[in-house]
């Protein structure tokens, strides 16, 4: 079983290539809890219906149907390590297409499910799903938000990831995310910054996260997430 460590704009993963073996769900969960203490989650490389299949676990052993930064790391592994000539793979949120362009990894994100406006813990925002559920709320001074404690309260009420967003300009934002299943703030969250850009509703959005800069592009067929991946 090949094991690799990746970070994608600071979102940290261990990848387990189990295409030459098989593990039960419990065995995967135990492996994740044991090996992911200093990571945000784990990516399992499998094959299904003639395609590579990405199964995602958060560090606490909970499964999630999608991970945007993880999907970028997964595609990086397929192309750079497995030397697979692929531009798409399967996830529990459907087929994900993508490519490596100028050392950046670009993927098409799952189509969002309807956003609804809600108020929770005195924060007004939108609840929408981009592979996984996200609450997005705009704030004035993001660096002074108690992401860990307020994020935890909102996460528990909604069973969703929580994104605090500060608008810098028409199409530039800062995002800080409390991630479900990590149960803490992460340096970036791909589906979270995509959900935030969808709420901003601009065609090209530059997103500053603590883990670096990500871009989200809105094209005719959907939303594309672009950023770095490193072998660390
Ligand atoms: N960091 C991921 C999101 C991973 C899943 C999330 N923690 C959940 O359980 O919903 C991303 O980059 O999208």
Does the C-beta of 132 come closer than 6 Å to ligand 1?
yes
In a domain, 108, yes or no: no
At 198 the pLDDT is 98
Task: State ipTM.
Answer: 0.93
In a domain, 105, yes or no: no
- The answer to whether the CB of 161 is under 6 A from ligand 1 is yes
Are 60 and 118 within one domain? no
The pTM score is: 0.97
Burial per residue of 9-33, b for 16 or more beta-carbon CB atoms within 10 angstroms, e otherwise: bbbbbbbbbbeeeebeeeebbebbe
Domain containing residue 170: CATH number? 3.10.310.10
Give nearest CA residue, ligand 1 atom 2: 67
User: Is 189 labeled as catalytic in the residue annotation?
Assistant: no
* Residues 119 and 58 occupy one common structural domain: no
- Choose among 193, 214, 184: nearest CA to 112: 193
**65 and 138 in one domain?**
no
- Residue 226 in tokens: 């672009």
CA distances (Å), origin 14, targets 44, 70, 103, 182, 214: 9, 9, 21, 14, 21
Cα 5 to Cα 128: distance, rounded to the nearest angstrom:
30
- 131 and 164: one domain? yes
Which pLDDT score is estimated for 161? 98
**Is 122 strand, coil or helix?**
coil
Number of domains into which the chain is organized: 2
Q: How far is the centre of ligand 1, averaged over its atoms, from the C-alpha of 161 (Å)?
A: 7
Say whether both 133 and 28 belong to one domain.
no
Per the residue annotation, which of 54, 67, 96, 145 is the catalytic one?
A: 67
Residue 219 lies in a domain: yes
Choosing from 66, 100, 134, the residue where a domain stops is 100
Return the C-alpha torsion angle 98, 27, 14, 160, nearest 10. 70
Which of 100, 121, 142 is the last residue in one of the domains?
100
pLDDT at res. 114: 85
Choose among 114, 104, 170, 160: nearest CA to 137: 160
Residue-range definition of the domain harbouring residue 188: 113-227
Are residues 163 and 198 in contact, defined by beta-carbon separation less than 8 angstroms? no
* 54, 69, 161, 198: residue to mutate for ligand 1 pocket, most atoms within 8 A of CB: 161
Walk along the chain (232 residues) in steps of 10 and give the mean pLDDT of each run: 97 98 97 98 98 98 98 98 97 98 97 95 98 98 98 98 98 98 98 98 98 98 98 95
């Amino acid at each position: 079983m090949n094991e690799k460590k990746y970070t994608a704009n600071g979102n940290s993963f261990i990848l387990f290539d189990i295409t030459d073996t098989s593990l039960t769900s419990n065995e995967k969960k135990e492996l994740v809890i044991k090996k992911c203490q200093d990571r945000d989650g784990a990516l399992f490389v499998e094959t299904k219906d003639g395609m590579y299949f990405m199964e995602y676990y958060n560090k606490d052993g909970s499964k999630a149907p999608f991970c945007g930064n993880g999907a970028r790391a997964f595609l990086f592994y397929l192309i750079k390590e497995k030397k697979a000539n692929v531009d798409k793979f399967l996830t529990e949120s459907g087929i994900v297409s993508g490519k490596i362009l100028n050392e950046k990894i670009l993927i098409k994100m799952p189509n969002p499910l309807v956003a609804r406006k809600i108020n929770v813990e005195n924060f007004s925002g939108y609840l929408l799903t981009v592979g996984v559920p996200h609450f997005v709320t705009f704030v004035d001074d993001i660096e002074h938000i108690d992401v860990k404690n307020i994020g935890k309260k909102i996460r528990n009420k909604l069973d969703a990831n929580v994104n605090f967003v500060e608008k810098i300009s028409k199409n530039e934002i800062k995002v800080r995310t409390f991630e479900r299943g990590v149960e803490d703030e992460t340096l970036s969250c791909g589906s979270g910054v995509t959900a935030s850009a969808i709420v901003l509703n601009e065609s090209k959005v530059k997103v500053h996260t603590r883990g670096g800069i990500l871009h989200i592009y809105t094209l005719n067929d959907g939303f594309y997430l672009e950023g770095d991946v490193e072998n660390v």
